[in-house]
Amino acid sequence: MTIIITILVGFVGILIYLLIKYPDRSIGTNPRRDLNGPKGLPLFGNLFDVLKHDNNGFVIFLYETLMKYGPNATYTLPGFGRFITVNNPECLEHVMKANFEGYVKGEKLYKILYDLLGDGIFNTSGDNWKMQRKLFSQLFNVRNFREIICVVFEEQTKIFLKIMEKKVNSGEIFDLQELFYRFTLDSFGKIIFGLDFKCLTNTDSPVKFAQSFDFVQGALGKRLQNSFWNITELFTEEGRKLREDCKYLTEFAYQIIENRRKNPETLREATDVLNLFMEAKYDNGENMTDKQLIDVVLNFIIAGRDSTAQTLSWMMYNIMVNPSIEEKLVKEANSLLSDEEPISRYENIKQFQYTHATLYETLRLHPTVPNNFRVCLKDDVLPNGIPIYAGEMVNWSSWAAGRDERTWGKDAKIFNPERFLNSEDGLKPSPYKFTSFNCGPRICLGQNFATTEAIMLATAVLRQYKFEMVPGQKLPPDFGVSLTLPMKNPLLVKVYHR
């Protein structure tokens, strides 16, 4: 009994000590009285501020923090430590360019994303990242765009148009976001694997690969709000399914790689991304291992399949609720396309200026990757004099920054493509202001890829068909918990001839 009492007294003493030491921040963090930010709870910091939102609480929390406390604010989360926001162009340029080597992804984020992204380009830093980026940059050349990528985009757009014709004739209500996902997965299956997932040819059948990929993304997105994910996932059904689906995705990619290695003739003849990477060599002359190829493939899919489908979904939503914008888009499509040439080609994509502006405005308000994080390696000072200490995390929210009136003006929350056409910055402003394609040395290599795919499909479809949202849906749509920014619920529409 005496021993039990002694243990209890000791425990209470330690708890009191910790409560005094960390009165308004998460355990293990140092105070930052020099910065503003939402006051946290003892030991837990701002964890419950994130969890109080029903939907993707982290995105909303960062937006509220930016609006109330300014571009540079601080907060703490157990398991992650102290965060300092850099939601203004000057500070972000310093972190992502001027002192690029001083800020890295960090071990915590690496572990959160490893089950899906492995050691792929989006989850690594240093030499491994540099080597992969060099290989990726070789992929996106004009020849590959014309001979591989745009050929597939045109084929898939023709199939999409045929589906629209069937939808018009049947008068059915359908989920437009789901159809965009099918379009991009079919496109990526052919571009990456030389494989037809048959998503568009069997629109009523579920696609196991897509279901697993979406579930894994959602589960990993939740890890950002759960400091104890590595423990809780051991005992939950979601954790079991996450491990099962990650295994399936890995084995799926591995099987394709193995089959191609067993058939050298197929390897020589294949004209897809996997073939390009299997033949590519690092600076030391070595080829990629199967594990590295799997990581490349899964990173590539999350970059292309998800980003373009989600952007098209948000873009179509904004077009449907803004008839004047739709009218201008249709006018531009009619002026550049015809019955003889109903789909734009790579050579004339740049002529669709208003469509480009509408796409960028969509990405400004609905960026594919809403949040980003880096860890400071050694003590640093931001351009505005704010110190960042080694081990602290900096983060920025493209979703929040796109709505910041200090950066975008009084109409920051209004969907207005003209801001890109009339801007002194040109059609697309500085990437440290418009961060939807990331910035600095990590700026998205595939932005031309995504832009081309989205504009080819959008212009061809809008020229011939008009979409109407089914009444009764929540506006604006909620976004789901994920690593990216999908709509939480189906985007239900009907489609008509123009």
pLDDT of 3: 81
Residues 6+ apart with CB under 8 A from 185: 197, 199, 207, 209, 210, 301, 305, 309
pLDDT of 268: 64
How do the domains of the chain map onto residue ranges?
Answer: 13-497
pLDDT in tens for each of the 498 residues of the chain? 788 887 887 888 898 999 999 999 999 999 999 999 999 999 999 999 988 876 678 899 999 999 999 899 999 999 899 999 999 999 999 999 999 999 998 898 899 999 999 998 888 888 888 888 887 787 777 777 787 888 999 999 999 999 999 999 999 999 999 999 999 999 988 888 778 888 998 888 888 988 998 899 889 988 887 878 989 999 999 999 999 999 999 998 888 888 888 877 766 665 677 887 887 777 788 888 889 888 888 888 877 788 899 999 999 999 999 999 999 999 999 999 999 999 999 889 999 999 999 999 999 999 999 999 999 999 999 999 999 999 999 999 999 999 999 999 999 999 999 999 977 777 888 999 999 999 999 998 888 889 999 999 999 999 999 999 999 999 999 998 888 899 999 999 999 999
> Is 444 annotated to bind ligand?
yes
pLDDT of 419: 94
Does the domain formed by 13-497 have CATH 1.10.630.10?
A: yes
pLDDT of 266: 66
Match 């976004």 to its residue by tokens. 479
pLDDT of 482: 85
How far is residue 143's CA from residue 318's CA, in Å, rounded to a whole number? 34
